[in-house]
Amino acid sequence: MAIFIVLFFITSLFSCKNTTPLKEKKIAEVSKQYITILGVTQDGGYPHIGCKKECCNNFYNKTNNKKSVVSLGLIDLIDKQKWLFDATPDMHTQLAELEQKHLKKENIIDGVFLTHAHIGHYTGLMYFGREAYGKKGVSVFAMPKMKKFIETNGPWSQLVTLQNIKLKKIQQDSSIKISNNLKVTPFLVPHRDEFSETVGYKIEGNKKSALFIPDIDKWHKWNKSIIEEVKKVDYAFVDATFLNQNEVKRAMTEVPHPFIEETIYLFKDESLSTKNKVIFIHFNHTNPTLQKNSKERKEIENLGFSFANEGDNYAL
């Protein structure tokens, strides 16, 4: 199967060479409601702890720039609100990014939506505590198990006790209207749920909508079709942790994710307009497509797929 996927991948490069894909989905004009990309890497970030490989050495020799852990900002300039998807270890600079480049207001954020209890997705909550921001009542939206995990495990429970955060329980497939024209819906996805369930989000604006699935085990384990779900939205930010199974010397059963090559294969018979909706995000430091100028990334872009870049904006 792996050999077949590689052969398909190589063949597709030539069959699509005359196609002009949608390379950028940035907003061309000022939009009042939009998603902004605040981070693109998996939990350990880039450069990665303990990495002595060329991928991270390229940061220290100034060939490649630092990359933040995956997070989306959601901006509503009509109702003067801003929201965050996942509280990463880079949250302090990501919140500053929202403040400096998107929307300045008295409260630092109107709410944070969490996906699950892996370190890159909730540990940024620490910055709301007395050692750092230390203010009261930041709204944090979490699924039932995620909410209980925060309430019953220190140091996160102290955030609740001191009222630095105000936990708000959400339910799968139940929509939350966060402003006049913005709606957020969590949905369960299969993942390594040691401490909490894992969700993705559908984000709906007045004109467009997006999926956010930074972590999932494998597409076939989900009770929905990723192809059909992509067709229902305008943008789909999907798990792209590894390019293929040969990328790291580690049992992939320990860290299951859909390889980019597998996702490409799934969409092989779909139209270019459908492929254009797929935006890869959540890259391991070893993934060559994390770097804009890699040949692997350019080849995949030529097939019609896209990659999330920090600072890109997507109109809703």
Residue 203: is its pLDDT beyond 90?
A: yes
In tens, the pLDDT along 76-125 reads 999 999 999 999 999 999 999 999 999 999 999 999 999 999 899 999 99
Residue whose tokens read 């702890």: 49
Residue 187: is its pLDDT beyond 80?
A: yes
> What CA–CA distance (Å, rounded) separates 86 from 76?
18
Residue 18: is its pLDDT beyond 50?
A: no
Residue 220: is its pLDDT beyond 80?
A: yes
Banded pLDDT at 311 (limits 50, 70, 90): very high
| Residue 245: per-residue pLDDT | 79
pLDDT (mean) for 274-299 = 94
Is residue 293 domain-resident?
A: yes
Token couple for 210? 């997006």
Is residue 258 domain-resident?
A: yes
Is residue 193 domain-resident?
A: yes
| Residue 253: per-residue pLDDT | 63
| Residue 180: per-residue pLDDT | 87
- End-to-end CA distance of the chain, in Å? 38
| Residue 254: per-residue pLDDT | 64
239 or 29, greater pLDDT: 239
C-alpha dihedral, 211 to 216 to 222 to 224, nearest 10°: 10
Residue 196: is its pLDDT beyond 80?
A: yes
| Residue 255: per-residue pLDDT | 66
In tens, the pLDDT along 51-83 reads 788 777 787 888 888 889 999 999 999 999 999
Is residue 112 domain-resident?
A: yes
Coil, strand or helix: which one is 5? Answer: helix
pLDDT (mean) for 19-36 = 61
pLDDT (mean) for 7-16 = 45
DSSP state of 68: P
pLDDT (mean) for 206-232 = 95
| Residue 57: per-residue pLDDT | 76
Residue 94 is part of a domain; what is its CATH number? 3.60.15.10
Residue 42: is its pLDDT beyond 50?
A: yes
| Residue 61: per-residue pLDDT | 85
Query: 81-85 and 71-76 as β-strands: parallel, antiparallel, unpaired?
Result: antiparallel
Is residue 18 domain-resident?
A: no
- Alpha helices of the chain — where are they, by DSSP H? 2-15, 54-60, 91-101, 119-122, 144-152, 156-161, 226-231, 260-266, 272-275, 295-302
Count how many domains the chain has. Answer: 1
Residue 10: is its pLDDT beyond 60?
A: no
In which domain, by residue range, is 218 found?
26-315
The three-point CA angle 45-49-51 to 5° equals 105
Query: 306-307 and 278-281 as β-strands: parallel, antiparallel, unpaired?
Result: parallel
Phi, psi of 34, rounded to the nearest 5 degrees? -165, 160
Is residue 254 domain-resident?
A: yes
> What CA–CA distance (Å, rounded) separates 76 from 309?
20
Instruction: Report whether 227 contacts 236 (CB < 8 A).
Output: no
Is residue 15 domain-resident?
A: no
pLDDT (mean) for 252-263 = 81
Is residue 4 domain-resident?
A: no
Residue 13: is its pLDDT beyond 60?
A: no
In tens, the pLDDT along 113-151 reads 999 998 999 999 999 999 999 999 999 999 999 999 999
| Residue 30: per-residue pLDDT | 55
State what percent of residues in the chain have pLDDT above 90. Answer: 72
Banded pLDDT at 21 (limits 50, 70, 90): very low
